[in-house]
Structure 1
């Protein structure tokens, strides 16, 4: 996945989880580029895509702010499934699985239950 799309996905996930809310200011694209060692144009492309999706609003001279949040019927952050997943992650770590193992299992399960169309 392209780096700018990874940034877009991370912001979308933060919105869904309630980590970001309407009115919150995003770090500057330059700050994201410096922190992630990405080309500043990559982060600017991500911010433009977020704007195109109607999720953020740039305010010249001030910054980029969350302008809309998805309104799920029930917060996924409070879902019982999150607790079950957290418990599964704890057990996986206890069984000696590293992040690459866990990521591979998640990718395989996602492909099985959410096949690409």
Structure 2
């Protein structure tokens, strides 16, 4: 997202973090090659390499020359079962909101307000 104000390499790092948290990537999985990412996103190869180096620095992935870059571990504190449960609950809430006639903008406003209020109160 060029308009986000977040450096592209950090967006890639964040996407890998999210995939790890949601169980879409697990230890042993191979990340797409830099060439594949470049072809799909039309970004500079150095940007992908920088993101992968950052993930390697964090100890989440390891490059194996000639083979690719592989996930070595999940970020600490990750409970995939709990996350899957909360994802299912949130998806149910979203379906209920849509069934009640709320549109995407309405739902997003409710979510953002609840999220902001929750973290402002120190609940989370």
Q: TM-score range by the shorter chain?
A: 0.7 to 0.9
CA 1:103–1:7: 2 relative to 1, 3 Å: farther
Q: What is aligned with 2:115?
A: 110
Ranges in structure 2 where 5+ consecutive residues have no aligned partner? 1-5
Residue 103 of structure 2 is aligned to residue 78 of structure 1 = no
Say which of 11, 14, 17 aligns to 1:12. Answer: 17
Q: What is aligned with 2:70?
A: 65
TM-aligned CA deviation for residue 103 of structure 1 = 4.5
Q: What is aligned with 1:23?
A: 28
Q: How many residues align?
A: 113
CA 1:20–1:73: 2 relative to 1, 3 Å: closer
Bigger radius of gyration among the two: 2
Q: What is aligned with 2:60?
A: 55
TM-score, normalisation: structure 2? 0.73
* Aligned-CA RMSD value: 2.3
Is contact 1:15–1:70 with CA below 8 Å preserved after alignment?
Answer: yes
CA 1:67–1:105: 2 relative to 1, 3 Å: same
